[in-house]
A and B are shown apart, each in its own frame.
Chain A
Amino acid sequence: MNETLLISILAASITAGTPILFAALGELISERAGVTNLGVDGMMLVGACAGFIAAQQTGSLLSGVGMALLAGSLMALIHAFLTVTLRANQVVSGLALTLFGTGLSGYLGLDYVGQQATVVFSKLAVPGLSEIPVLGPVLFRQDLLVYCSYILVAAVAFYLYRTRAGLFMRALGENPAAVDAVGVNVFGLRYLYVIMGGALAGLGGAYLSLAYAPCWLENMTAGRGWIAVALVIFALWDPWRALLGSYLFGGIDALGFHLQVIGLPVSVFILNMLPYIFTIVVLILVLARKGGRLAAPQALGQPYDREER
């Protein structure tokens, strides 16, 4: 394998990993606040579709991205209402939203199937940085949204570990009663983080339809939302590990396209299984090593009820 091919596979890994990264970051935010969101795939689809339509109609990428964020947020608002206010089962609500999002995006995007995007996020080399050997072309000859995702990961990590608000966000997922006890609004914050998570899932979808593909196809996520859910566990709820994981899983995606070029005799089905196999292996390793203590937020999946003490 020559260097050019390697660079192009690595660069493609990042491009392919970026939609997963956005969605995984969103899921991570939501789960850190104690709410599992299995509706990611549906939210991605709705985001991809809404973003694509808006961009086609207005010819503006900004409005495309804005619409994707909004669509994801609205879906997440339903999830938050069901799980935080009504204290519905988070798994059931999430699954319902995924199925709903799949249907809704198929219906809304009916007239757009197969259209090429008229405006797309094209590659923009960062002056200077892109000249670094190997890393330059891999990391810095990407599009604007990829650069946004770098910043976003750093911002989420900083927020989580270095700020007071981030500490409270983590506490929400561990022990909401402790947060409530100091007079911080548990319900309001959970709404906020669930909606942020949905917005990021929508953005991940828009990346598919406005940069990666760039077109609208029914069910175009091809299960990337589920990879994002698995990835959060794989990353043990850490943003930087989520970044690495996204690129790893993106790399598996990219490898699928290059298989014939490289001449690797592996079935693409096997490749598609790998993200889930990795996740299972990580689960086993972590559970075995820490004597059964998973890094999962303790209150994950439990609705908060002030009366139940």
Chain B
Amino acid sequence: MTLPLISMRQITKRFPGVIANNKINLELYPGEIHALLGENGSGKSTLMSILTGLYKPTEGCIMVGGEEVKFASPADAIASGIGMVHQHFKLIESFTVAENIVLSQSKGGFLLKPEQIIADIESLGEKYGLQVDPRAYVWQLGVGEKQRVEILRMLYHRSRVLILDEPTAVLTPQETRELFVNLRKMADDGCAVVFISHKLNEVEELADRVTVLRGGCVTGSAAKEDMRRDKLVQMMIGREVLNTYEKNCEHCGEVVLQLEQVSALNDMNTVGLNNVRLAVRAGEIYGIAGVSGNGQRELAEVLAGLRPAMGGKIFFYGQDLTNKKPKEMIEAGISYVPEDRLGMGLVPNLDSVNNVILKEYDGKFSKGWRIRREAAIAATKRIVEDFDVKLGSIFQPVKMMSGGNLQKLLLGREIAAKPKLMIVLYPVRGLDIGAIEAVHKLLLQLKEEQTAIILVSEELEEIAKLADRVGVMFAGQILGEFPVSEMDTEKIGALMAGITEAGGAGV
């Protein structure tokens, strides 16, 4: 048995209020492609940030080649032969490929020897099939080429441990195949490759070994021959029996929202939503489960008027609202609570009062062209009180508040507007238990008030607890839909992996 190149032992990382990694053990062997599988927020990124020297572990140790190391900075990790390609490339657009590659090494001679560097890069590129012109400027390159530059950069610095964070997310199928061939070559050369993903088919295709994370813990590990798709999904979404509550939807009212064959493009101009149909009734919570990135955000944005529907119809109380402007959607009574609270939801540098005004600048907080500040202050105070938002002052920039309180303020603002339909994306992501409880209570209270709610979540427990019905999204489609009482992890796991009862894997 060969010795592991890296072994991470009992790694624990605590952030205030959250345990991001809990006693994780991970061993990386030369010649092996190791997949790290898990949902967003499962702790994959934190673990890799520890390995690349960005974070210091709270407990536990890292051994490189059998010796314990302490990384003070990413530079130390690079020096130990650990390299990483991030999801968002860290290249300088106005520099050439060669300059970018040299840049990631602080030590070296005073003078640059461009010809030497270019020759080195070219020979590396040939060896591993990573074709790219070292003299080209990065802004001239396509996404796939940029990724090759990032990989070359690791190889140039003689990294023995190559970490790739969701490398296929930006690639075409053709480029993905090439990448897999190249990664295999690097592993055959004695490198340890770490492949972070949440795409099961890719993990099956490429990895020699897979480790699955969930909620900061390792939930399972399997060698290639033992990998089974349904088992991996179980590990990803959790084994525990779901507590499903019998929901009574007898007092659910009329149909509020109806989607008919709605399709839309995603940010990369490929199909993001594929003929989605669903209906939500007043006082009903409709949960959308699924691995994130399968069209959930696109769905929400189409409903908020932020993304044009390429086909299909959106009916709201029977009225056609397809491709209306965001403002018209808001006026109709649709409220959208986005996943990034501080990006799209609130303005970080404005205080609570101004953030509350934001969505009703020409509604109840204005008189002609003037803002009615007293009314806004009063409304803000009411939200802070009713929704138990803890803050220093309502006149402080909201970026100083904690995630839970931000979410309460945001939800409070939306609820105060008395929406008829609310779309909530990952409302409890990054929150501690107390805040999660509070947010859930708010949503249930809203349901009592006969608001229709679409809840997008990656936590099945959350959906089981709150939703009346659940739809599973995969590749832009709703693959299955059933009452929450009939939901079990087996069934839902299969759908999340794209396996339908009709047999075989979906697209």
A163 adjacent to B111 (CB under 8 Å): yes
A165 touching B74, Cβ below 8 Å: no
Q: When each residue 268-297 of chain B gets 1 if its CB lies under 8 Å from chain A and 0 otherwise, what string results?
A: 000000000000000000000000000000
Residues of A with C-beta under 8 A to B109: 164
Q: Which residues of A contact B (CB under 8 A)?
A: 162-165, 167-168, 170-171, 174-175, 177-179, 181-184, 293, 295, 297-298
| A162:B106 contact, CB within 8 angstroms | no
Given A162-B111, A164-B109, A170-B95: A181 in contact with B90 (beta carbons within 8 A)? yes
Contact indicator A184/B106 (Cβ below 8 Å): yes
Which residues of chain B are within 8 angstroms of A183 by Cβ–Cβ distance?
A: 73-76, 106
Residues of B within 8 A of A298 (CB): 92-94
* A195 CB, min distance to chain B CBs, angstroms: 21
Closest-CB distance, A306 to chain B (whole angstroms): 11
* A175 to B90 CA separation, bound complex (whole angstroms): 9
Q: Which residues of the other chain, A, contact B110 by a CB distance below 8 angstroms?
A: 163-165
Q: How far is the CB of B33 from chain A (nearest CB, A)?
A: 25
| Among B9-17, B96-104, B361-369, B462-470, the stretch in contact with A | B96-104
CB–CB A175/B74 < 8 A: no
Q: Is B103 within 8 A of A168, CB to CB? A: yes
Q: How far is the CA of A259 from the CA of B196 in the complex (A)?
A: 71
> A164-B110, A164-B112 are known contacts. Are A182 and B105 too (CB-CB below 8 A)?
yes
- Give which listed residue, B102, B104, B139, contacts A181 with CB less than 8 A: B104
Contact residue among B76, B93, B112 (Cβ-Cβ distance under 8 Å from A167): B112
Interface residues of B in 99-156 (CB under 8 A from A): 99, 102-106, 108-112, 139
Bound complex: CA A32 to CA B443 (Å): 51
- A183 to B74: give the CA distance in the assembly, Å: 7
- CB of A182 within 8 A of CB of B92, answer no
Closest B-chain residue to A181, C-beta based? B74
Contact A171 B75 (CB under 8 A): no
B45 to chain A, nearest CB (A): 12
* Neighbour of B92 across the interface among A165, A178, A184, A293, CB < 8 A: A178
Measured CB to CB, the closest approach of chain A to B380, in angstroms, equals 27
Residue pair A167, B99 in contact (C-beta under 8 Å): yes
B264 interface residue per 8 A CB criterion: no
User: Are A164 and B92 neighbours in the complex by a CB distance under 8 Å?
Assistant: no
* Residue B213, interface by CB 8 Å: no
A167 contacts across to B, CB distance below 8 A: 99, 102-103, 112
What is the bound-complex CA distance between A167 and B95, given in angstroms?
A: 9
- Can you list 19 A-B contacts (CB < 8 A)? A163-B110, A163-B111, A163-B112, A164-B102, A164-B108, A164-B110, A165-B110, A167-B99, A168-B103, A171-B95, A174-B95, A178-B92, A178-B103, A181-B75, A182-B106, A183-B74, A293-B139, A295-B94, A297-B94
| B78 beta carbon closer than 8 Å to chain A | yes
Question: Assuming A170-B95, A174-B92, is B103 touching A182 (CB within 8 A)?
Answer: yes
Q: Which residue of B lies closest to A170 (CB)?
A: B95
Residues of A within 8 A of B92 (CB): 171, 174-175, 178, 298
Chain B residue with the shortest CB-CB distance to A293? B139
Closest residue of A by beta carbon distance from B105: A182
Chain B: minimal CB distance from A190 (Å): 16
Size of interface on B: residues with Cβ below 8 Å to A: 22
- Inter-chain CA distance A124–B104, complex, in Å, is 46
Q: How far is the CB of B97 from chain A (nearest CB, A)?
A: 13
A171 to B73, CA, bound (A): 19
Known: A162-B111, A170-B95. 17 other contacts (CB 8 A): A163-B111, A164-B111, A167-B99, A168-B103, A171-B95, A175-B90, A175-B92, A177-B90, A179-B103, A181-B90, A182-B78, A182-B103, A183-B75, A183-B106, A293-B139, A298-B92, A298-B94
Residues of A within 8 A of B106 (CB): 168, 182-184
Q: Which residue, B92, B105, B108, B111, has most C-beta atoms of chain A within 10 A?
A: B92
Contacts of A170 in B (CB 8 A): 95
A177 to B93, CA, bound (A): 14
- Which residues of B308-330 have CB atoms within 8 Å of chain A's CB atoms? none
Closest 9 CB pairs of A and B: A183-B75, A174-B92, A182-B106, A183-B73, A181-B74, A175-B92, A184-B106, A182-B75, A171-B103
The interface residues of chain B lying within 8 Å CB-to-CB of A178 are 90, 92, 103-104
Q: Which of B75, B90, B103, B104 has the most CB of A within 10 A?
A: B103
Return chain A residues, CB-CB under 8 Å to B111: 162-164
**A179 vs B109: C-alpha distance in the bound complex, in angstroms?**
17
B182 nearest CB across to chain A (Å): 24
Could you tell me which residues of chain B, from 254 to 274, have a CB within 8 Å of some CB in chain A? none
Q: How far is the CA of A35 from the CA of B52 in the complex (A)?
A: 30
Q: A170-B95, A174-B94, A174-B95 are in contact. Are A182 and B104 (CB under 8 A)?
A: yes
A177 to B104, CA, bound (A): 11
**Bound state CA distance, A179 and B112, in angstroms?**
17
- Smallest Cβ distance from B142 to chain A, in angstroms? 16
Alpha-carbon gap, A178 to B101, bound state (A): 11
Best-buried of B93, B104, B106, B139 by chain A (most CB within 10 Å): B106
Which B residue's beta carbon lies closest to that of A309? B54
Chain A residues with CB below 8 A from B108, complex form: 164
Residue of B nearest to A165 (CB): B110
Query: How far is B5's CA from A258's CA once the two chains are assembled, in angstroms?
Result: 75
Q: Which residue of B lies closest to A177 (CB)?
A: B90
Complex-state Cα separation, A167 to B117, whole angstroms: 14
Please name the residue on chain A nearest to B106 by beta carbon.
A182
Q: Chain A contacts of B78 at CB under 8 A? A: 182
Q: Within 8 Å CB of B73, what residues of A?
A: 183
Give B103 Cβ to nearest chain A Cβ, in Å. 6
| Cβ–Cβ < 8 Å partners of B95 in chain A | 170-171, 174
For residue A184, which residues in chain B have a CB less than 8 angstroms away from its CB?
A: 106
- Which residue from chain A places its CB closest to the CB of B157 in the assembled complex? A182
